[in-house]
């Protein structure tokens, strides 16, 4: 019980200390965002390298299997060699690039038939998120696995990372406050507060946080929107290196206004800004000339923020926690008293028995 009290106290004090360190809490900052124009990306991958260099994330060799995260996981936790699976670097760009604990951002390639405009790349048909593991089932009508270079295809590249929701479900689900939304926009993760429950993975509607399954002491990993740079009003590392100006950093509301003007002025764009309404709105917003569903974006995400579904129940969490602590304290006291009574009774019974036994020295 004292250990529980100590843990809760240290959790609270660390959380306060971390929040104190966050510059965005000390001063009022205009919420920042990034506008991504997918028509401008040439797939050079510079942004993924900049992210790795700035955040010092590893280039790790993993069992590389084509389609199944489940098989990759099985191979990661058993011995990949014994399964005859070759280990390769997890790609950070290309058709098989996926976000991982090391790849906080990836560039995914999609191919489209020039005549029909239909996507000919394999693409996720359905996402099943169970126990925080994403299993991608590829659509049955995947047309071809070979890239055509005869001019009959056009290619598009999609930069993926955390969208930094305005009301993040990950932060709402995390009772340890390991995920926190800063006023400047980034949703920041504090591994020192994380207890590894992985509720954040289940809560995120975009399947962003990734768990370090392969490490003995794992943490969650995701893009932090280079919060230390953003808090100084500097563009994130990936944004700053892009040679074609795909991403624009600035005040979120201004960027949203600009995105609306761009798509209204040029009908090649889809008349939709991804992230304007999805999950209640996100700090990173996208415009595209191809349908977002075919670009691999989740288009079934509700417009309402995810925490708004649970807010009225979450109010009861502190009450429940306090009541549960009181129940545990009560049980501790009751079992303590009972155990002490049992010890006294045993001792008394033993002494009583000894008193009744005639001493050898007692004269007859
Ligand atoms: S995209 Fe997912 S991980 Fe990123 S802020 Fe939103 S809920 Fe959290
Ligand atoms: S914002 Fe920073 S952490 Fe996020 S993908 Fe870009 S470089 Fe990586
Ligand atoms: S977003 Fe920019 S840096 Fe990243 S791959 Fe596209 S063109 Fe290159």
Which residues, in sequence order, are CB contacts of 3 under 8 Å at separation 6+?
Answer: none
Residues 6+ apart with CB under 8 A from 291: 270
Looking at 74-83, 139-148, 244-253, which range is the least confident one? 139-148
277 compared with 70, residue with greater pLDDT: 277
33-44 pLDDT tens trace: 999 999 999 999
Average the pLDDT over 266-271 and give the result. 97
Q: Which residue has the tokens 């504090």?
A: 190
Hey, which of 104, 159, 162 would you mutate to test ligand 1's pocket, going by the most ligand atoms within 8 Å of its Cβ?
A: 162
> How is 272-301 classified by DSSP, letter by letter?
--BTTSGGG-BSEEEE-SS-TTTTT-----
Q: Say whether pLDDT at 311 is over 70.
A: no
pLDDT value, residue 246 = 98
Closest-lying ligand to the alpha carbon of 207?
1
Span 206-233, average pLDDT: 93
User: What tokens appear for 169 in the block?
Assistant: 């479900």
* 64 Cα to the center of ligand 1, angstroms: 26
Mean pLDDT of 83-110: 82
Q: How would residue 29 be classed by pLDDT, with cut points 50, 70 and 90?
A: low
Does residue 161's CB lie within 6 angstroms of at least one atom of ligand 2? Answer: yes
Cα 199 to ligand 2 centre (Å): 23
Q: Is residue 10's pLDDT more than 70?
A: no
Distance 200 CA to ligand 1 centre (A): 8
Q: Considering only the top CATH level, what class is 2-314?
A: alpha beta
Does ligand 1 come within 6 angstroms of the Cβ of 106?
Answer: no
- Residue 115 CA to ligand 3 centre (angstroms): 26
Q: Is the pLDDT of residue 360 over 50?
A: no
| Token pair in block for residue 320 | 């429940």
Look at residue 7 in the predicted model and tell me its pLDDT: 38
Determine whether the shortest distance from the Cβ of 224 to ligand 2 is under 6 A: yes
Local structure of 355: helix, strand or coil? helix
pLDDT grade for 1, boundaries at 50, 70 and 90? very low
Ligand nearest to the CA of 164: 1
Closest CA to 51 of 247, 215, 283: 247
Mean residue pLDDT of the chain comes to 79
Quick one: tokens of 247? 């991403």
pLDDT higher at 342 or 178: 178
Q: What integer pLDDT is reported at residue 291 of this predicted model?
A: 95
- Ligand that lies nearest to the alpha carbon of residue 172, given by its number in the listed order: 1
Closest CA to 25 of 222, 194, 181: 181
Average of pLDDT values for 239-261?
Answer: 98
Between 206 and 65, where is the model more confident? 206
Q: Residue 67's pLDDT band (boundaries 50, 70, 90)?
A: very low
Look up residue 119 and give its DSSP letter.
B
Number of residues assigned to the chain: 364
Ligand 1 centroid to Cα of residue 204, in Å, is: 5
Write out the E strands in the chain.
32-37, 61-63, 87-89, 93-94, 106-113, 124-130, 133-138, 153-160, 179-181, 187-189, 210-211, 220-221, 247-251, 284-287
Compute the distance between CA of residue 136 and CA of residue 124 in angstroms, rounded to an integer: 6
pLDDT at 131 over 70: no
Q: 240: which residues sit within 8 A by CB, 6+ positions away? A: 50, 234
Tell me what pLDDT residue 334 has.
Answer: 78
- Residue 245: pLDDT above 50? yes
Residue whose CB lies within 8 A of the most ligand 2 atoms, among 47, 162, 184, 225, for a mutation test: 225
pLDDT higher at 143 or 195: 195
Task: Report in angstroms the alpha-carbon separations of 325 from 8, 273, 319, 335.
Answer: 11, 46, 10, 15
Residue 300: count of CB within 10 angstroms of its CB:
8
| Atom number, ligand 1, closest to the C-alpha of residue 187 | 5
Q: Is the pLDDT of residue 166 over 60?
A: yes
Q: What is this structure's pTM?
A: 0.73
């Amino acid at each position: 019980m004292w250990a529980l009290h100590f843990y809760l106290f240290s959790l609270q004090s660390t959380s306060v200390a971390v929040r104190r360190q966050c510059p965005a809490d000390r001063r009022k900052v205009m919420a920042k965002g990034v506008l991504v124009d997918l028509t401008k990306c040439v797939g050079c991958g510079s942004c993924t390298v900049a992210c790795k260099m700035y955040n010092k994330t590893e280039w790790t060799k993993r069992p590389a299997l084509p389609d199944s995260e489940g098989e990759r996981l099985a191979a990661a936790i058993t011995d990949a060699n014994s399964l005859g699976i070759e280990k390769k670097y997890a790609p950070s760009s290309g058709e098989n690039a996926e976000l991982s604990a090391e790849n906080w951002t990836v560039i995914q390639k999609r191919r489209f038939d020039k005549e029909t405009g239909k996507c000919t790349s394999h693409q996720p048909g359905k996402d099943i998120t169970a126990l925080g593991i994403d299993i991608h089932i590829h659509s049955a009508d995947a047309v071809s696995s070979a890239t055509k270079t005869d001019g009959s295809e056009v290619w598009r590249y999609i930069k993926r990372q955390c969208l930094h929701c305005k009301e993040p479900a990950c932060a709402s689900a995390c009772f340890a406050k390991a995920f926190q939304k800063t006023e400047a926009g980034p949703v920041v993760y504090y591994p020192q507060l994380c207890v590894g429950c992985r509720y954040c993975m289940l809560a995120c509607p975009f399947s962003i946080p990734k768990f370090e399954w392969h490490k003995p002491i794992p943490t969650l990993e995701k893009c932090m929107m280079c919060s230390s740079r953003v808090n100084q009003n500097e563009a994130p590392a990936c944004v700053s290196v892009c040679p074609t100006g795909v991403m624009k950093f600035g005040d979120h509301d201004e960027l949203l206004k600009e995105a609306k003007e761009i798509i209204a002025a040029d009908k090649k764009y889809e008349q939709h800004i991804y992230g304007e309404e999805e999950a209640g709105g996100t700090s990173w917003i996208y415009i595209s000339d191809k349908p977002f569903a075919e670009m691999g974006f989740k288009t079934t995400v509700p417009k309402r923020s995810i925490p708004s579904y649970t807010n009225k129940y979450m109010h009861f969490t502190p009450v429940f926690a306090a009541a549960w602590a009181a129940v545990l304290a009560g049980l501790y006291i009751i079992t303590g008293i009972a155990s002490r009574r049992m010890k006294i009774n045993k001792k008394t019974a033993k002494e009583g028995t000894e008193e009744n036994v005639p001493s050898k020295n007692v004269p007859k």
